[in-house]
Structure 1
Amino acid sequence: MKDLILEEDLTFILNKVFKQGKFNHSTILVTGATGLIGSLVVKSILYANQILNSQITILASVRNLEKAKEIFADFSDKNLMFITDSLLLPLSIEQSVDFIVHTASITASKEMISNPTAVLLTAFESTKNLLNYMKENPRCKMVYISSMEYYGQVTAEDCVNVTEDKLGYIDLSKPRSCYPESKRVCEALCNAYATQYNLNVCSARLAQTFGAGVSYSDNRVFAQFAKSALNNNDIILHTTGQSEGNYCYTADAVYGIFLLLQKGKKGQCYNVSHSHSTILNMAKLVAEKIGNNKIKAEVCIPKNLDSLGYAPDVKLKLNSDKLKTLGWQPEIDLENMFKRMIRSWELQG
């Protein structure tokens, strides 16, 4: 494996998750397996099979088979099987599945503006079909991958310590609201099935997650900041940067997801977050620590801001104590998230 940073991360997850052998000989279905989180979940399992002979069967649900083969080209494992059937249809799987990690969703901001019905319906239908599969296979356990956007805009008195019971405002007149609302409805659906049918499903509300494993072609804000620093270009913000972000390193997030597969309580949700910053302060951190003060962060707001799909300004600091009570101990802070992601890019050439 060329990417030694990613290999370090997979070893970290191996030691935290797989060494005890609790997933040995199981079958795990991962949806959205070519996305960032899904692909790292799959690679973690493949690495455990390779190093520990864990003999875990992986069913990787993907839309693009060629892309999937390219992403997992470093691993040769007869226990990896690709599923190309649409998640919008009832599942047709011959194997008995022990665990499901449901990461599949539409996350492109521009698509939230141009195709909001697909964002909502893809989320709802795929989750419903997985839960119906679990009704027929009640031994199965699922973690639904939700988002911090679930919270919307939290009131000023609640925003400094956002625990899982808080709920903010979402303006449903805005088309982009399809995304956070899809997370709410899918969590509600998971909890309804957990209550009515006694299914073992819980939700992981992920903060913005990045690090080794992010593609250099990624165009999200953190990736744009990192590439600006690499290319000695000033960081140009298209908003005032006052929105507050919550962040988690990729390996820490994947470790948290596997912990929830083991210990998460049915019908419960868990914040998965480690670092917190305004967008502007993050830009300044990158300019100083990554760009070595050779670049600066500037605000330049375009006239067509509303058409670009940016989320509204949010004041939000997530509390992850609930996950920590299960034993979660994240290790990588915001500065090192950037450093490890960039080093991973460099190693990949």
Structure 2
Amino acid sequence: MSHAIPPEKETGRTAQHTVVTGGAGFVGSHLCRTLIESGESVTCVDNLSTGRLKNIADLRENSRFTFLEADIVEPFQVAGDVDCVLHLACPASPVDYFGMPVATLRAGGHGTFHTLELAREKQARFVITSTSEVYGNPLEHPQREEYWGNVNPVGPRACYDESKRFSEAMTMAFRQEYQVDAAIARLFNSYGPDMRGDDGRVVPTFIKQALAGEPLPVMGDGSQTRSLCYVEDTVQGILALARSGETGPVNIGNPQEITVRELAEHVLELTGSTSSVSFVEAHPDDPQRRRPDIAKARRVLGWEPRVPLADGLKRTIASFAEEA
């Protein structure tokens, strides 16, 4: 099954026009590139608070790519017809949302409202990338879309967790009241090239430290688990949902579960680093287990991840090594 959004539409236009908010960020930039390569026109909207122009540098000379520097917490306009709005704009790493809690909440509230209003105005398909963090520190394992979660609404992670939970509620409200063609993708941990080495997420942190010969900081005793999905697979999952008629929420992630300590050892082996592992205090409310149930994505989207962890890590390590 092809996951690319078809370039032709009944309007007769030669290519679809997709708006990607947060398009200069990690997942967003990969999404923009995939859409351009499939023949789409793309408007990338980003305020560059966490996104980077270097992530989209290769796209800016393409006539089908437009970069709009704008903050979605304020109303914004996109010229012309729009077929699809993919809403990714929100600080997504602990370093960012711990440092910008109010901006994170506003991205989920005001930002999602304005982006949905754009989709409503343009009569466009709308997909928001929510997160596995809506499940909190889960009491159900693996996590199914029907699970309501175990979230601390006043803890230090609440700015991100509740921002996304509110975004989901806003999306469903627009679908119910205004009949916006909207859907929710719940992304589990994604990794790959173009991640910032300083964003605080586990894969770039481990790779950066290993390449520098410095200790890898493992939080707690390292027994907590993560399920890591290579960005190429994540993008294909988002596009599969965008081109479907599904509402969601739909989990997009890799069900292969690994402990953080095992991941550290894996990175050390793949980099050939002599770095040690250093155990540090865990963040408050750090989820202890994380693994998606992707039965729904397989059933309704025909999607599942393809890139094995070892291959994805090798590609990511190579990317970091080139930048070092």
Matches within 5 A, 1:123-272: 123-138=108-123, 140-155=124-139, 158-159=140-141, 161-216=142-197, 218-266=199-247, 268-272=248-252
Report how far residue 62 of structure 1 moved.
1.8
Range that drifts further, 227-236 or 162-171: 227-236
- Partner deviation per Cα, 1:228-283 (whole Å, 9 max, x = no partner): 332343423242223221210010000111111101513x2111111321212211
- C-alpha distance in structure 2 between counterparts of 1:201 and 1:335, whole Å: 35
Unmatched segments (≥5 aa) in structure 2: none
| Contact 2:155–2:285 (8 Å) recurs in 1 | no
- C-alpha distance in structure 2 between counterparts of 1:264 and 1:282, whole Å: 36
TM-score (norm 1): 0.82
| Contact 1:225–1:235 (8 Å) recurs in 2 | yes
Report how far residue 299 of structure 1 moved.
1.8
Unmatched segments (≥5 aa) in structure 1: 1-14, 49-53
Report how far residue 68 of structure 1 moved.
5.8
Partner of 1:72: 56
| Contact 2:95–2:199 (8 Å) recurs in 1 | no
Range that drifts further, 89-98 or 203-212: 89-98
Report how far residue 114 of structure 1 moved.
4.5
Residue in structure 2 matching 1:329, options 294, 304, 315: 304
Report how far residue 292 of structure 1 moved.
4.2
Cα 1:199–1:245 change in 2 (3 A) is same
- C-alpha distance in structure 2 between counterparts of 1:338 and 1:98, whole Å: 34
Query: Is the aligned partner of 1:81 residue 2:66?
Result: yes
Amino acid at match of 2:253: S
Pairs aligned (count): 316
The Cα RMSD (Å) is: 2.5
Residue in structure 2 matching 1:320, options 286, 294, 298: 294
SS in 1 for 2:157: helix
Partner of 2:321: 346
- C-alpha distance in structure 2 between counterparts of 1:295 and 1:217, whole Å: 18
Range that drifts further, 213-222 or 96-105: 213-222
- C-alpha distance in structure 2 between counterparts of 1:152 and 1:69, whole Å: 32
| Contact 2:187–2:234 (8 Å) recurs in 1 | yes
Amino acid at match of 1:315: R
Residue in structure 2 matching 1:97, options 73, 79, 82: 82
Partner of 2:47: 63
- C-alpha distance in structure 1 between counterparts of 2:55 and 2:115, whole Å: 24
Report how far residue 216 of structure 1 moved.
4.6
Cα 1:347–1:19 change in 2 (3 A) is farther
TM-score (norm 2): 0.88
Query: Is the aligned partner of 1:37 residue 2:27?
Result: yes
Taking only the aligned residue pairs, the percentage that are identical comes to: 23
| Contact 2:138–2:287 (8 Å) recurs in 1 | no
- Partner deviation per Cα, 1:197-235 (whole Å, 9 max, x = no partner): 221111111111111232455542211211233234342
| Contact 1:146–1:187 (8 Å) recurs in 2 | yes
Moved over 6 A (4+): none
| Contact 1:152–1:167 (8 Å) recurs in 2 | no
- Partner deviation per Cα, 1:273-327 (whole Å, 9 max, x = no partner): 113212122112223x3144844434243xxx6xxx5542322321112111211
SS in 1 for 2:145: coil
Report how far residue 117 of structure 1 moved.
2.5
- Partner deviation per Cα, 1:180-211 (whole Å, 9 max, x = no partner): 11111101111111122221111111111111
| Contact 2:5–2:243 (8 Å) recurs in 1 | no
- C-alpha distance in structure 1 between counterparts of 2:177 and 2:121, whole Å: 14
SS in 2 for 1:342: helix
- C-alpha distance in structure 1 between counterparts of 2:264 and 2:284, whole Å: 16
- C-alpha distance in structure 2 between counterparts of 1:185 and 1:129, whole Å: 14
